[in-house]
Structure 1
Amino acid sequence: MHSNMIAAIITRRWQLAQGYHAVEVETKYRSKVPPFEDGAIVDLTPSHGCRAVRSHPLWHLPSREDAFVVGVRQASDAQAAHDADFMWNRGDEFYIGMPRNTEIAMDSNSRYILFSAGLGVTAIAGIAKRLAAAGKPFEIHNFARTLERTVFREELDSLSAYGQVHHRIGLKEEEIERATSFAVSPTHADSQIILSGPPLFMRQIERQAREWVYPSNIHKIVLGDKGVRR
């Protein structure tokens, strides 16, 4: 079941934003984490026999090759009772898979439009860093319920010298739909649309983007439950 996975343990946890935590994960035997870009996706499964698998964006820790940080949603009491396999407490042991970097076509003629909500911003911030390093202009549209629940706001704002960063805070459902529709229309068919967030949020943007760009240029970064590992 755990072939090609690395044993790991949670070493600390802290508040990332209201409703969200950052969790430090360290390889159990001080083995190196395979190389990855910030915002890459990794699968985690508990080591105690549970077969549940979840995908999370991960982030480097400076000067550490045996550890990384993932963002997790803070569970309510009801969710915690239902979801005891993923409590994210210090000392919890997991197996981690190979990090997966999101492939980006570095095209000088492309427009890069990035959308994020919730923990999806961690993956999108990593992609924006890669675009900035390559000298590719981009625009980010990040959505959050409240300012206090905005994850990675400082990290996104630090990229504003390289691209446009828009925070959409506290919008109602119909306002979100208008904002995302306006962001993708009009645009060229070869624009690259990259998005990560809740399923309904991504389905809405994908539907809007298909009216303007090639389907192959829409890149969804799916997080959360992957079901059961076989």
Structure 2
Amino acid sequence: MLEVRVARKIAEAEGVCSFELAAANGAELPAFTAGSHIDVHVAPGIVRQYSLCNSPHERGRYLIAVLDEPASRGGSRGMHADVQEGSRLTIGVPRNLFDLDLGGDRYLLFAGGIGITPMLAMAHSLLAAGKRFELHYCGRSIERLAFLGLLNEAPFAKHLRVHVDSGPVEQGLDAARVLASPAQGDQLYVCGPAGFMSHIQTTAKASGWSDRQLHREDFAAPPQVLEGDQAFEIELSRSGRVLQVPAQKTALEVLLAHDVAIESACEQGICGTCITRVLAGEPDHRDQYLDAAEHARNDSFTPCCSRSRSPRLVLDL
């Protein structure tokens, strides 16, 4: 864990604030790569993940941006309302689940709204590596696009393409045209709302892009509890205790309510913090962290969102 202070807080766009973080002791911060995020302890019991958006070559600061979500469970609302310049925060070291592969020839970056945050760091890295790229920045209106002033200046401006719903028709995103005729060395990175990312990916695949060329980062997972979900049991192998997980609660909620020691952060199946080993039973995987092969092995379980296809799961807890 690192203690940082908020050196600057800036209103970057409608509903979006950026926070420049510096080490509280004045030292250099741990290095990171484009696509990395940090865990921010917003308040007791509230940990959220935010992408780093500044250049990875910088060691004196981390820059994050936070959208004030109407449905906030305390994270974004707390950052906007309670965190000010001079505030102290505890953060985790950078982790990267959305790594930028610099082995490509040309890059198409698609950012939807607050999805600009990892893309800005990627743009910094692509510029430093001398790579060809386009940054397609999409949003409802110009007023909602954070960092637009920075991106409209050199050296980013010639790579930037802005698409807003409230603008002229010709300013809209024609994804099929942009994604047409991909070359073998092309790479596509997308971040933003789930529907936006699905549209880009579906269009890319229809245009001939392969899975290995497509990369996305989810900021939110689908709902953890669905209509028709059934109760199931969790057996804790180390103690033999058996806990009941009702249909309307997550396994993580039940574990924490029974004082089972387990680390958690995003509570949406995105960060991987709460992953637990499965000793018996078949999980119903609903996370965005494990890949298809890991899901198929059925030996890992994300209790914050996943459930069970079998009546009981035996966990290594």
The answer to whether the superposition gives a TM-score over 0.5 is yes
Q: What displacement does 1:52 show?
A: 3.5
With CA pairs under 8 Å and 6+ residues apart, which has the higher RCO, 1 or 2? 1
Residue 194 of structure 1 aligns to a residue whose secondary structure is strand
What do residues 150-194 of structure 1 show as CA deviations (whole Å, max 9, x unaligned)? 22223323356785421001269xx99962222111322442111
Pick from 176, 194, 197: which aligns with 1:199?
A: 194
Residue 207 of structure 1 aligns to a residue whose secondary structure is helix
Contact 1:55–1:224 (Cα < 8 Å) also in 2: no
State the alpha-carbon separation in 2 of the partners of residues 24 and 61 from structure 1: 14
Q: What displacement does 1:146 show?
A: 1.0
Q: Which residue is equivalent to 2:4? A: 8
State the alpha-carbon separation in 1 of the partners of residues 151 and 183 from structure 2: 25
Contact 1:56–1:223 (Cα < 8 Å) also in 2: no
Percent same amino acid among aligned pairs? 18
Contact 1:132–1:159 (Cα < 8 Å) also in 2: no
Higher mean C-alpha displacement, 215-224 vs 141-150: 215-224
Q: What displacement does 1:124 show?
A: 1.5
How many pairs align? 218
Q: What displacement does 1:21 show?
A: 0.4
Q: Which residue is equivalent to 1:131? A: 126
Contact 1:119–1:197 (Cα < 8 Å) also in 2: yes
Pick from 83, 102, 109: which aligns with 2:74?
A: 83
Q: What displacement does 1:208 show?
A: 1.5
Higher mean C-alpha displacement, 47-56 vs 67-76: 47-56
1:97 lines up with 2:93 in the alignment: yes
Pick from 20, 31, 44: which aligns with 1:24?
A: 20
Structure 2, gaps ≥5 residues long: 222-265, 275-317
State the alpha-carbon separation in 2 of the partners of residues 84 and 135 from structure 1: 37
- What TM-score, normalized by structure 2, do the two folds share? 0.58
What letter is aligned with 1:70? I
1:72 lines up with 2:63 in the alignment: no
Pick from 245, 267, 277: which aligns with 1:227?
A: 267
1:170 lines up with 2:165 in the alignment: yes
State the alpha-carbon separation in 2 of the partners of residues 148 and 71 from structure 1: 15
Q: Which has the larger radius of gyration?
A: 2
State the alpha-carbon separation in 1 of the partners of residues 99 and 118 from structure 2: 9
Pick from 147, 153, 177: which aligns with 1:158?
A: 153
Q: What displacement does 1:138 show?
A: 1.5
Q: What displacement does 1:149 show?
A: 1.3
Structure 1, gaps ≥5 residues long: none
